[in-house]
Structure 1
Amino acid sequence: MKLHTLIRALPFAHLPKENPEISGLAQDNRLVTENSLFICIKGWTVDGHEFAKDAVARGAAAVLAEKPMELGVPVIVVKDTKRAMAILSDVFYGQPSRQLHMVGITGTNGKTTTSHIIEKIYRDAGRCTGLIGTMYMKIGDETFKTKNTTPDSLTLQKTFHEMVEKHVTDCVMEVSSHALIQGRVHGCDYDIAVFTNLTQDHLDYHKTMAEYRRAKSLLFSQLGNSYNQNKPKYAVLNADDPASKEFEQVTAAPVVTYGIDAPADFMAKNIDMHAHGTTFTLVTPYEEQEVNLQLVGKFSVYNVLAAVAAGCISNVPLSSIVKSVEEMEGVRGRFELVKGGQDFTVIVDYAHTPDSLENVLKTVQQFAKKKIFVVVGCGGDRDKTKRPVMAKIACQYATDAIFTSDNPRSEDPLEILREMEAGVKGLAYDVIPDRREAIKTAVSRAQKGDVVIIAGKGHETYQIIGSEVHDFDDRKVALDMIKER
């Protein structure tokens, strides 16, 4: 694509005399190829403008920047390169999201599980699917690693283009609040926006719950203001979450609701939970059906209801949807059973917010016959206000709470633990900073019929201490301790 053709999408952008052919876009100078357009992005720690000369040396034919630069190639100056990158990426890759059926899922908890259930519903219905989220990225049957829950706009548009090239019809993706505020999903033409729930998290970034809620609302306001019967858009909202009222106000799209307590389009009644599954009556606008899940917990029922609603408005037959959700065995690190032949239950879960930890422990209370052990910590360089809250929840809903390190990152692990302890003065608990020792202690103390919950890291296979990343998998460590015992 010619440079002039590409940058005409930017209002009032100055067209340079030179008009080179642009063969690719790059925001990382190390990834520049011959005749690329290099985009200078100011990050939290690195300013891309400092690498512009190197990008040109590597073959960049032009540079997009926020200030004039003498580089020997055309330099297009704009006010905001991040915003411009989203526009140019969409144009360069041929607006690929318009050629896909796009589902975006936002919320504090449940995004990963809900996205996997929806993806399975589509795949079982014979569609070719793509998936983008916390754990990985999938294009058809190929899986790729991801750095963030929601990648930057350039990576997204390139990925959508690859999906289109590989005949993907439906893309399901998690959309984080950071991505919404930072404009990473600008240019994504969503057809369905799904809201799971809103509870305390990321206040280190958003500062207040009101700002956090506003960030989430952007997914629904960005569904647009027009009605295209050939490509209809829907907002799928949790009727039991108060934030849905605000999201309903900010979207012009038709609203489809799901819930358990408040009246909704899709509901679950007669819920019955046990250690290895959940049954309930699914009530839909069409009919009622009995559902037997292999997933455990009320939170799992909410995730399934959201997925069922998305499946139905995507014209997947209800019988096919129910079959898919009943076959779902769960998602790695989400209420995942660790089986080593022991006579007690060990569960690894990603619960890293007060609400998710409370949900997991309340679920365990419904089937635990004896003691409940919980091993839990809080991440460093993240929302500090939730630390005493999570500690209190651990002591309130478990019989034996063990506080340990999560990913302390640049913070002192002992200081994080002290902040957790501030919320449980006078209550009984143990503090074991070394996570491996903490898991070993819980497993060694558990007796027949007890339940051990290892919370916070879920699917992660690492632990970040200082600037170092160490191999650490809660599931593997727990299994090793079970076998050692």
Structure 2
Amino acid sequence: MKLSRILKEVKINSIYRTGAKTIKKGGFRKNSNYDPDISSLHYRAQDVQPGGLFVAIPGLFADGHDFIDQARMRGALAIVSQKPVQSDHSVTENISQTKAKQIKNDLTVIEVDNSRKTLAMISAAFFQNPSEKLNIIGITGTNGKTTTAYLIESILSAAGLKTGVIGTINYRYLGKVFENPVTTPESLDLQKILDTMQKEGVTHVVLEVSSHAIDLFRVENCFIDTGVFTNLTQDHLDYHGDMDSYWFCKKRLFTEYLPSGRKKDRAVAVINRENAKGRELFEILPVRGISTGNSADNMIRPKKIEHGLNGIAGNVLTPSGSFDFKSPLVGKHNIENILSAIGAGIALDLSLDHIKAGIENLFYIPGRLERIAGNNGCFVYVDYAHTPDALSNVLGSLKAISQKKIICVFGCGGDRDK
């Protein structure tokens, strides 16, 4: 793909060649050497292929700008940088003469204000905007993202829709399962996954959207049809610094991304109003909203709910009518997750029969109050809870439905908060 096409929507500060005695700046010209064909995109210098474009992004522990020379040595034709690249090929200190002799190709350098945001934009362009051809359901919140994603996946599958999921546990589609090192992949990886899913016949994708992904522009130019907010409680203060910054980041999915994307005219937000921040968010939504919660002023609310060690059962009222359901999921907090998934189904205009079947077909979520075989009639559960609110929800839910002693074995990886 021509470099000019990849960069069509990018705000460019300057374009120049590092090999010229006089650095030339300016835009693209027809039949110009400044507009090479780009065969691949990369943000890790060690992965660069000949004819590729390398985007130098600042990371949490390393800066891609320090590896521009490595990218060039591996055959990069172009570099996107938010720092000036000197004509001696180094973005920082001069390189050695031996190393300079190894580097033969001149680079086309594109300077931008934000290379991370640019990576997301050019990745979408390179893969021809796969999110435009898919129905994307984006879920964010401190807790409940994974459970809600599994529920929505089950509902979509019950409706006969070919579904993909990208989340904390893995990414998967059409019977294929792949490891996912982070909840929301880097923008280039995300767009590549979406492109593959779309080409293999997937029509709907459920995407867990972390606060890191929003802050680091990983979901920039990933156009979302339905946004789902589960809740906001303490987490990731090691990254965001304080709860106000964390909250500001989370709500951007609804206040910035949904109303400004190419699907803004049909975007819908599903908001859990049982959470205080959910109630606040619902009041300022710039797109159509669907509220969930226990009170009568919510569009989707439970009626006659019973929950115990064997699961949840009851009736749910929706704008499309009401229905009874039974779910083997355990815990009061899972009622909120079920309501959020129902909200997504309503937003997608699915039938209540398919929504009900999807809820009842999901027997467990890995590591989310997942029941395992116990001896002597004991109920044993494994849960991923690692935040104060999540652990409180798990223990509180079990305490409310257990008549005997609860034994908790708890550990965490650390480095999540100050």
- What band does the TM-score fall into relative to the shorter chain? 0.7 to 0.9
Distance 2:305 2:12 in 1: 58
**TM superposition shift of 1:262:** 5.4
Whole-Å separation in 2 of the counterparts to 1:361 and 1:220:
31
- Aligned partner (choices 169, 173, 184) of residue 135 of structure 1: 169
1:9-28 alignment to 2 at 5 Å?
9-16=9-16, 17-28=33-44
- The 3-state SS of whatever aligns with 1:223 is helix
Instruction: Give the letter for the 1:290 counterpart.
Output: D
Q: Which of the residues 13, 38, 49 maps onto 1:33?
A: 49
- Structure 2 partner of 1:478: none
1:204–1:383 contact (8 Å) kept in structure 2: yes
The alpha carbon displacement at 1:363 in A equals 1.4
Q: From 278, 282, 288, give the equivalent of 1:244.
A: 278
Checking the alignment, whether the CA contact within 8 Å between 1:191 and 1:232 is kept in structure 2 is: yes
**Equivalenced residues, count:** 383
Give the Cα separation in 1 of the matches to 2:289 and 2:402: 38
Question: Contact 2:223/2:263 (CA < 8 Å) preserved in 1?
Answer: no
Relative distance call for 1:148 and 1:32 in structure 2 (3 A) is same
AA aligned to 1:261 is S
- Taking the aligned partners of 1:102 and 1:52, their CA distance within structure 2 comes to 34
Q: In the aligned structure 2, how far is the partner of 1:291 from the partner of 1:8? A: 50
User: Any conservation in 2 of the 1:4–1:15 contact (CA below 8 Å)?
Assistant: no
In structure 2, relative to structure 1, the CA distance for the partners of 1:82 and 1:227 (3 Å cut) is: closer
1:39-438 paired onto structure 2 within 5 Å: 39-66=55-82, 67-70=84-87, 71=89, 72-221=106-255, 222-224=257-259, 232-261=266-295, 263-384=297-418
Distance 2:133 2:14 in 1: 31
* Deviation of 1:256 (Å): 0.3
- 1:8-56 C-alpha deviation (Å, 9 max, x unpaired): 3222443444321101100112221221101111112111122222222
Tell me the amino acid that sits aligned with residue 279 of structure 1.
A
Structure 1 residues 108-117 or 199-208, which shifts more? Answer: 199-208
Structure 2 unaligned regions, length at least 5: 17-32, 90-105
Asked if the contact 1:220/1:250 (under 8 Å) is kept, the reply is: no
Query: Could you tell me how far apart the structure 2 residues matched to 1:209 and 1:300 are?
Result: 24
Specify whether residues 375 and 198 from structure 1 end up closer, same or farther in structure 2 by C-alpha distance, changes over 3 A only. Answer: same
Q: In the aligned structure 1, how far is the partner of 2:73 from the partner of 2:262?
A: 48
**1:124·1:324 contact (CA, 8 Å) conserved in 2?**
yes
Q: Counterparts of 2:269 and 2:407 in 1: how far apart (Å)? A: 39
Shift, 1:326, TM fit: 1.0
- The answer on whether the counterparts of 2:152 and 2:344 sit within 8 Å (CA) in structure 1 is yes
Deviations 1:263-299 (A, max 9, x none): 2111112121121111111111222222111111111
Deviations 1:211-234 (A, max 9, x none): 2111110110111159979x6110
Supply the AA of the counterpart residue of 1:357.
L
- Does structure 2 conserve the Cα–Cα contact (< 8 Å) formed by 1:223 and 1:251? no
Q: Which runs of 4+ in 1 moved over 3 A?
A: 12-17, 225-229
CA contact (8 A) 1:240 1:262 kept: no
State the match for 1:7 in structure 2: 7
1:324-359: CA deviation from partner (whole Å, max 9, x where unpaired) = 101211210000112044432211111111111111
Structure with the larger RCO, 1 or 2 (CA within 8 Å, 6+ apart): 2
Aligned amino acid, residue 24 of structure 1: S
- Distance (Å, rounded) in 1 between the aligned partners of 2:346 and 2:368: 25
Cα shift at 1:98: 0.9
**Same amino acid, percent of matched pairs:** 38
SS in 2 for 1:216: helix
Q: Distance in 2 between matches of 1:115 and 1:224?
A: 22
Calculate the TM-score normalised by the size of structure 1. Answer: 0.76
Q: How does 1:437-476 map to 2 (within 5 A)?
A: none
With the length of structure 2 as denominator, give the TM-score of the two structures: 0.87
Per the TM alignment, residue 246 of structure 1 is displaced from its structure 2 partner at its CA by: 3.2
Who is 1:470 aligned against? none
Structure 1 residues 33 and 250, CA gap change in structure 2 (3 angstroms): farther
Secondary structure, aligned partner of 2:228 = strand
The AA in structure 1 aligned to 2:252 is L
Amino acid at match of 1:322: K
The residue type paired with residue 29 of structure 1 is A
Corresponding letter in the other structure for 1:240:
E
Inter-CA distance 200–193: structure 2 relative to 1 (3 Å threshold): same
Given that residues 69 and 75 in structure 1 are in contact (C-alpha distance below 8 angstroms), is that contact kept between their aligned partners in structure 2?
no
Q: Distance in 2 between matches of 1:249 and 1:288?
A: 25
Of 8-17 and 334-343, more deviation after overlay is shown by 8-17
Q: Distance in 1 between matches of 2:263 and 2:143?
A: 31
Between 114-123 and 278-287, the greater mean CA deviation after superposition: 278-287
Worse-superposed segment, 364-373 or 62-71:
62-71
Q: 1:197 to 1:374 in 2, by over 3 A?
A: same
- Distance between the aligned counterparts of 1:94 and 1:191, measured in 2? 18
The residue number in structure 2 matching 1:480 is none
CA–CA distance in structure 2, aligned partners of residues 11 and 245 of structure 1 = 36
User: Do the aligned partners of residues 160 and 228 (structure 1) sit closer, same or farther apart at CA in structure 2, a change above 3 Å counting?
Assistant: closer
